[in-house]
Structure 1
Amino acid sequence: MPQLSLSWLGLGPMEASPWVLLLLVGASWLLARGLTWIYAFYENSRRLQCFPQPPKRNWLLGHAKWRRLVSEGSASLDMFEHISLMTLDSLQKCVFSFDSNCQEKPSEYIAAILELSALVVKRREQLLMHMDFLYLLSPSGQRFRKACRLVHDFTDAVIQERRRTLPNHRISDFLKAKAESKTLDFIDVLLLTKDEDGKELSDEDIRAEADTFMFEGHDTTASGLSWALYNLAKHPEYQERCRKEVQDLLRDRDPKEIEWDDLAQLPFLTMCIKESLRLHPPVTVISRCCTQDVVLPDGRVIPKGVICLINIFGTHHNPAVWPNPEVYDPFRFDPENAKNRSPLAFIPFSAGPRLWGQGHPQRSRHVSPPRCPSGCSGSEGGPWRSSLLLLLPTIFCFSYF
């Protein structure tokens, strides 16, 4: 099954590229080790603040669209499609430093990413289509190959252009300049990465990592954001408290002036996001390979090498850990209530030292929810609605890192 999810990377036989194995079994573990020195630099540069911030107009555009639809008589809105486009806008900026503006105009690249996501899910449901030679002969397989070519060509062009601009002088100076101008993106990091033997990543490896970030990141972020908006709309008392928290934070500032440092000052919004992720985790099941024998409490042993399925949804709805698990209650994540709870009771994006990319969806989420969808009409609330819209995706996104 993991091979089906990664087939769109187009890397050929596994032995042709050891990085495919990393994607399959280690969450890019060795790559993360190779990135250690760059991430140490990030810490000195106030962590991910050196990445380009997605234009805040991305979220304001979505908010304006929702208000227009409500004013035209829409009683309810399907948020997922709109938020997917907002998320892809954000990811393209962080990964490629590219403004896709896909909410305003069609983008072939964005359309291909969305089609690949749909085709992978569809293929999983058709047992015969798991065989590559049958799938590639089918109409879906032909569409799949066409979308793959478009995505790969776009990423390859960015990589080649960026290689031509790489400096011949000290990399530390290049990184510092990029960080100060907030133009250091994911492609820059991958181009400068070396493994423990001093070997650089090939263009094929870089493409696989960047495409994986786009492919896997947009769907989980969009799903989490949609549920967060839904839960706030269902619980206006929590929604109003979130808005008040944003008002107190910004005071006389323009909502467009929101910065990463502000996110730590939004504890209740963070609690609301975490509770939404608990109740509706974007990823419900993950698989992991045991690297050693695991002895269960009843004495049974899971042998080394066995692949286990971990039910995140079940973990998050375990009544022994979460009383009344179907109830949306942000106060579960009040520090006082959470201090005696196992850190592995809440694993919306899995857990462990190999999960080096886990922050992208949660920190992106702090920069987004408005009063939605019923609260999108009228003028009451003014810029505070937009500021809440801006804040949710950012907090949501940054929990990955």
Structure 2
Amino acid sequence: MFEILPVDSPSVSTSLLVGLVALCVYQLVVWYRRYTRWLAVYDKLPSDRDNHWFFGHMHKHPGPGEDGIQFMFSYTRPFPRLHALWFGRLRCILIVHHPDTVKIILRASAHIAKKPRGPGTAYMLGIKWLGEGLLISNGDKWARNRRLLTPAFHFDMLKSYLSKQNACTDVLMSKMEGFATSGQSFEVFRHLGLCSLDIISRCAFSRETNCQTEGENNPYVQAVGRLTDLWIKRSINVLQAFDFIYFNFTRDGRDFTRQCDLVHDVSEAMIKKRIKTMKQRTDGQTSEGLDFLDIILQARDEDGRGLTFNEVRDEVDTFLFEGHDTTTSALSFILYALAKYPEIQEKCRQEINSIFQDRDNDVIQYQDLSKMEYLTQCIKEGLRLFCPVFFIQRQMTEDVTLEGYHIPEGTHVALAIYNLHHNATVWGEDNDEYKPERFEPETARQMDPYAFLPFSAGQRNCIGQIFAMNELKIVLSRLINRYTFTVKEGQTIRKKLAVVMRTENGIWLDVKKRVKE
């Protein structure tokens, strides 16, 4: 007869320990063999060969400011199509920044993952904040949520948002009136950012926050600003790649958790309040006249299954961030460009005047948006020159051949949008100049469709891009129709990455009220 040992027997404990050690050793061997195969492939890719044995290329990275942006951009000269960048010596990131290489990655959308595996990967650094919303989710989950959320951006919904976008712009205009009267300069990101937050809050969530009048004292605004700074700071620090280390043993990690708790409290309170309101509505009410939050709470699959509370929260957090921070960056930099080039600002104004000439007010109507052809060129050139989203990241789930190089499954790929938009082999040596004529209809028709990607492309393009373009047109057209903007003298504009493009010290403009002819 066999003897059955108790589970707490020393023999059983020893066997379990040996088995666990054997499993760990096996996993380590499997990982090492795969790593050495990858290493043999990645070392053949175009790359700066001066990399550190532990930090890879990250020991050279000067940080998220202007110098860091130029560090990343500097590789487009020797490597105009692609190159390898080592984040530590354990993970190679393939950087692509030319239409010919970008299109191969984006066209392979069925074979790439938006949520790369592994510690320290760019999107995963934000999952504690944004969860698995549309920005980070993958595969069937992403496809399902995208399908359920698409009705929120239907033409009729976009049209219904216009009155709220105009109302929020009215508040901004009253602030500009005060600056014009006093002769005081104003910081662009601060005031346009609050306007953008007001717009997304009212349009998507029917929530009036008074954030434009409360200013930067708004705790949500402060929390989002801090989260975006911490996110990008961590993304270039090899020592903070692992969650366990970052969240338990660093001050930044603990701060990130605190800020996440704050923004989650805001979104959860908003969702719970809306659920309570929806229960009080009469039966049979349709989604007509409702907002984004109503639609995602009511959305159902064919089997009647909707989003869970946490899934709704992830989407709310994602849309509050993406619908506010990226648009803030675009608005601020484009207004700065128009202020810097008065002749371009005046040409925009003339176009807008022709739209408003038979009216007694400057409230934008939906049919006006398609008439703003020159302003649209200015907006697109601003999105090229000061692209709000610096890069997007993917992970290959199948092998692919790129420029004759074998790229294995599992490779991390960064589509460097800023580098793409400034690549001299694509845009010429004047790529750093603001020239709206690049997007004149005839010129634009000859442009490679993958040369300009402010909203990404393919299946995973930005679901809110039309909403964002409408907002840019409404706010900018009304501002420059009523006021003249100039750049305050004596300042140096230095860009900075904080998940989206910002500046190190802000942008200060002077504003004067126009004298109508």
Give the alignment's TM-score, normalised by structure 1.
0.80
2:128 corresponds in structure 1 to 7
Secondary structure at 1:310's aligned position in 2?
strand
Of the structure 1 ranges 283-292 and 236-245, higher mean CA displacement relative to structure 2 is found in: 283-292
1:364 corresponds in structure 2 to 471
1:62 to 166, 172, 185: 172
Distance (Å, rounded) in 2 between the aligned partners of 1:71 and 1:252? 27
2:207 corresponds in structure 1 to 98
Aligned length in residues: 361
Shift of residue 380 of structure 1?
2.7
1:31 and 1:195 in contact (8 A); partners too:
no
Distance (Å, rounded) in 1 between the aligned partners of 2:297 and 2:164? 21
1:22 and 1:30 in contact (8 A); partners too:
no
Change (3 A) 1:115 1:327: closer
Q: CA-to-partner distance for each residue in 1:169-188, whole Å, 9 max, x for gaps? A: 44xx5113x2xxxxx22211
Secondary structure at 2:424's aligned position in 1?
coil
2:162 and 2:365 in contact (8 A); partners too:
no
Shift of residue 244 of structure 1?
0.9
Alignment of 1:203-352 (within 5 A): 203-290=309-396, 292-296=398-402, 298-323=403-428, 324-352=430-458
Secondary structure at 1:200's aligned position in 2?
coil
Secondary structure at 1:34's aligned position in 2?
helix
Gap runs ≥5 in structure 2:
1-121, 488-508
- Of structures 1 and 2, the one scoring higher in RCO (CA 8 A, sep 6+) is 2
Equivalent pairs: percent with the same residue? 37
1:391 corresponds in structure 2 to none
Distance (Å, rounded) in 1 between the aligned partners of 2:312 and 2:222? 21
Distance (Å, rounded) in 1 between the aligned partners of 2:145 and 2:204? 16
Secondary structure at 2:446's aligned position in 1?
coil
Change (3 A) 1:123 1:22: closer
2:53 corresponds in structure 1 to none
1:33 to 125, 134, 147: 147
Gap runs ≥5 in structure 1:
12-18, 179-183, 385-401
1:165 corresponds in structure 2 to 277
Give the residue type in structure 1 aligned to 2:367: D
Identify the structure with the greater helix proportion. Answer: 1
RMSD: 2.9
Alignment of 1:178-193 (within 5 A): 178=289, 184-193=290-299
Distance (Å, rounded) in 2 between the aligned partners of 1:333 and 1:91? 28
Distance (Å, rounded) in 1 between the aligned partners of 2:125 and 2:162? 32
2:514 to 369, 380, 392: 380
Change (3 A) 1:292 1:169: farther
Distance (Å, rounded) in 2 between the aligned partners of 1:94 and 1:271? 26
Q: CA-to-partner distance for each residue in 1:118-171, whole Å, 9 max, x for gaps? A: 33234335444444344445444443333322222222222222223335744x
Distance (Å, rounded) in 2 between the aligned partners of 1:6 and 1:360? 24
1:85 corresponds in structure 2 to 194
Distance (Å, rounded) in 2 between the aligned partners of 1:54 and 1:376? 27
Distance (Å, rounded) in 1 between the aligned partners of 2:144 and 2:225? 29
Say whether residues 1:50 and 2:160 are aligned partners: yes
Give the residue type in structure 2 aligned to 1:363: N
Change (3 A) 1:99 1:310: same
1:398 corresponds in structure 2 to none
Say whether residues 1:151 and 2:257 are aligned partners: no
Shift of residue 242 of structure 1?
0.7
Distance (Å, rounded) in 2 between the aligned partners of 1:219 and 1:90? 12
Give the alignment's TM-score, normalised by structure 2.
0.63
Larger radius of gyration: 2
1:109 and 1:150 in contact (8 A); partners too:
yes
2:356 and 2:362 in contact (8 A); partners too:
no
2:393 and 2:415 in contact (8 A); partners too:
yes
2:228 corresponds in structure 1 to 117
Of the structure 1 ranges 361-370 and 227-236, higher mean CA displacement relative to structure 2 is found in: 361-370
Secondary structure at 2:159's aligned position in 1?
helix
